[in-house]
Structure 1
Amino acid sequence: MQRSYALQLATVIFVLASGCGQGSGTSTGGSGASSSATGTGQGGAGQGGAGQGGDNVGGAFVGSGGAGNGTGGGGGGTEVCDGIDNDNDGTIDNVDVGNDGICDCLRIATLGLAGVWGNGDVFASWLDARSDNGAVSLNDQVLTKDLLDKYQVIVAQNLSELGRTYSAAEVEALSEWVKAGGGFMTLIGYADPTERTNVNTLLGAFAMSYGAQQILPKNGEATIPVTNWVTHPVTNGVTRIGVDNGYPVEGTGQTLATEQGYDLLKAQEVGSGHVLMWGDEWITYDSEWTEHPEYQLELFWLNAIKWLTPAKNCQVTIPTPN
């Protein structure tokens, strides 16, 4: 059966929408009603006034009370993918036009290669249909701060096929990126012990790793359902997901799923960021998406992506499963 995890890149376009204003604002000292905010820029719909008792002079708002801040954020504009909290709800770029649980502004990247057992793109098509942004492969890139800072979530799988290793400097860059708020998820399980080398090198920065013993081979054509889950945002509503020839997750972090005594899922908060380890790769396979309606694969991925995404950034509501 096919395991497909082809994600496609879509560029995030930074847009300044009507209602968010242009220009910059400066504030002067004082407290309470005596403080003032001066902003220059073009006001937009839904901006609110210049502040209590303020005036509109030549398109520039000047007033006391601080209702306008010079960036156009004072009145609750329309949220767009521009790195600004346009609607002042406390979350940046929380755009989901289709209400499908994937943030339209999400910046996601991948490391590694998808499986080679056949053809199919059910998972990739599912993701592409729900987000304006897909994912960009970083396989040929040196992991640096400048590179990693372009992304919010990175998913790694089958790193043994890359024909390269990761340097100490790259591991450090990944570690610092996670601490600053990045989300890093790893998959494994391609029946090749060598794939543990690269992924364990990267996970070593977080005191996490995959064990050497392959576990839970499937019975005939059916994967082994994982049915023991710990309550957590990633597992919310999930009761079954299949595995085959995976590896146990080990080290620091909270164990979220087990089967037949083996740990299959670990989650860890590192600084402001998150690391998530899944002990298999069949969650990207066409067969699991099309032949097992009893598995909650879509919900699992929605939960995982949301938890990995930085807090107060690109967070959207996950719809109730049908």
Structure 2
Amino acid sequence: MTGLRFATRLCAVLAALWLPVIACSGGGDGPKGNTTGNGDGGQSAGGIGSNNSSSSSGDDIGGDIGLTSSVSTGPQADAGHETTCDDAGNCTCINIASIGREGVWGPCSSDSTTALQNWLNTQSTAQVDNYNTEKPTLTPEFLAKYDVILLQWMVTKGAQNDDGAPWQFTADEVNALKDWVNNGGGLIALSGYQCSGQGCTVHDVTATNQLLSFTDIQFNTNGVLDPAQSGCPNCNCWGGSLPLGGPLQGSVGTWNQDTPIGKDIQSVGAYIARPIKSTTATVDCTDGTNNFAVHEEVGKGHVVAYGDEWVTYSGQWLGTAECLDPRLYTDPNSGCYERSAAQVFQISQFWYNVIKYAASSVECFTIEDPVIIK
């Protein structure tokens, strides 16, 4: 397999992508044509790291085109991390591996995750390799190239209402990941990529729970945070997702302002999440019955678990999607007036908090984003 950096770091993308977010444009009607799935995802055409690309082996340590690579031996050697910049001023000091497929639902049931992709690759000192269709082998050598591992939808098929079989990891791979985390690696686990109703077998937690087996964190297979069951009158304004936390009508749960993950987050969009069970992890978001986000220290490393993947969708980042009429947010007579997903959710704050905590062994990680509270 050949290595593939999952986006080019172009300042033009920043201008094209982020300015609409700052201007708080668009984001509206709920998912269309999705009656059996959880609406929980959205990206059939690529994902966080690719444009319909195959997986990257990550065997190359070099940077993006035009970027001087910074050879790192992983989180164990933080003192060796150096920020390297290209002629355009794009700088890198942290390496992230995104393992697993991205979601295939989201606003309009056809969203992408390119907004997250571009945000990381144009506004942060992070550089990401994507392994989205083939399972990489988690050896000490593979893991040593990364500071943060993001676990996504680790299944063989990854289609709407059809996960395929879950990826299987050997005991040696789990032990290698355990050692890597104990030595300072940062592990982020997402879930909730698929439906949980009749006719759907949930496999999106199987491989993730296997890899989390050395922690005190596991995902349940049931679905929570269903807008259809919570009475959310304005969920159509942000693409169908339910407000997790915050003062919005129909919102569920609370973000803990005293934790590094929950701090400065009022609300994010969620749709059919997996609750998390743990006895010792710190709870970052809960409704008092179900835990939606938790974190814990494992040796020198940090682990974060979040039960939903709607925080990866472009429709939540930008407040725009193909089924949403932007006039919803500019018409004062509209119930969605100035209430797009980009205006009411703190998606970028969520990712800043999560990556900053997970990558705490890498002090050179920074991100430039005027809406983030640091």
* TM-score normalised by structure 2 residue count: 0.59
- Asked if 1:124 corresponds to 2:117, the answer is yes
Indicate if the aligned counterparts of 1:127 and 1:134 stay in contact, CA closer than 8 A: yes
Displacement after TM superposition at 1:295 (Å): 0.5
Q: Aligned-residue CA RMSD in angstroms?
A: 3.2
- Look up the match of 2:269: 242
Displacement after TM superposition at 1:256 (Å): 0.5
Equivalences for 1:200-211 in 2 at 5 Å? Answer: 200-211=209-220
- Look up the match of 2:309: 281
Equivalences for 1:123-142 in 2 at 5 Å? Answer: 123-131=116-124, 134-138=127-131, 139-142=134-137
Higher relative helix content: 2
Equivalences for 1:183-222 in 2 at 5 Å? Answer: 183-190=186-193, 191=195, 192-219=201-228, 221=236, 222=240
Question: Which of these two proteins has the greater Rg computed from alpha carbons?
Answer: 1
Indicate if the aligned counterparts of 1:104 and 1:133 stay in contact, CA closer than 8 A: yes
Seq. identity, %: 26
Displacement after TM superposition at 1:246 (Å): 0.8
Residues 146 and 81 (structure 1), Cα distance of their counterparts in 2 relative to 1, 3 Å cut: closer
Distance 1:95 1:272 in 2: 25
Counterpart of 1:232 (choices 259, 282, 285) is 259
Q: Indicate the structure whose relative CO is greater, using CA pairs within 8 Å and at least 6 residues apart.
A: 2
Displacement after TM superposition at 1:194 (Å): 1.6
- Look up the match of 1:7: 49
Indicate if the aligned counterparts of 1:158 and 1:188 stay in contact, CA closer than 8 A: yes
Indicate if the aligned counterparts of 2:123 and 2:369 stay in contact, CA closer than 8 A: no
- Asked if 1:308 corresponds to 2:366, the answer is no
Counterpart of 2:99 (choices 90, 99, 111) is 111
Residues 91 and 307 (structure 1), Cα distance of their counterparts in 2 relative to 1, 3 Å cut: farther
Distance 1:256 1:156 in 2: 19
- Look up the match of 1:169: 172
The one-character-per-residue Cα deviations of 1:89-108 (angstroms, maximum 9, x if unpaired) are x89435789xx9x9722111
Residues 165 and 237 (structure 1), Cα distance of their counterparts in 2 relative to 1, 3 Å cut: same
Higher relative strand content: 1
Amino acid at match of 2:128: A
Indicate if the aligned counterparts of 1:91 and 1:312 stay in contact, CA closer than 8 A: no
Distance 2:154 2:72 in 1: 32
Amino acid at match of 2:268: I
Distance 1:312 1:115 in 2: 28
- Look up the match of 1:16: none
3-state SS of the aligned residue for 1:107?
strand
Q: Where does structure 1 lack aligned partners over 5 or more consecutive residues? A: 14-79, 85-89
Distance 1:127 1:274 in 2: 20
Aligned residues: 251
Residues 103 and 304 (structure 1), Cα distance of their counterparts in 2 relative to 1, 3 Å cut: farther
- Look up the match of 1:295: 345
3-state SS of the aligned residue for 2:285?
strand
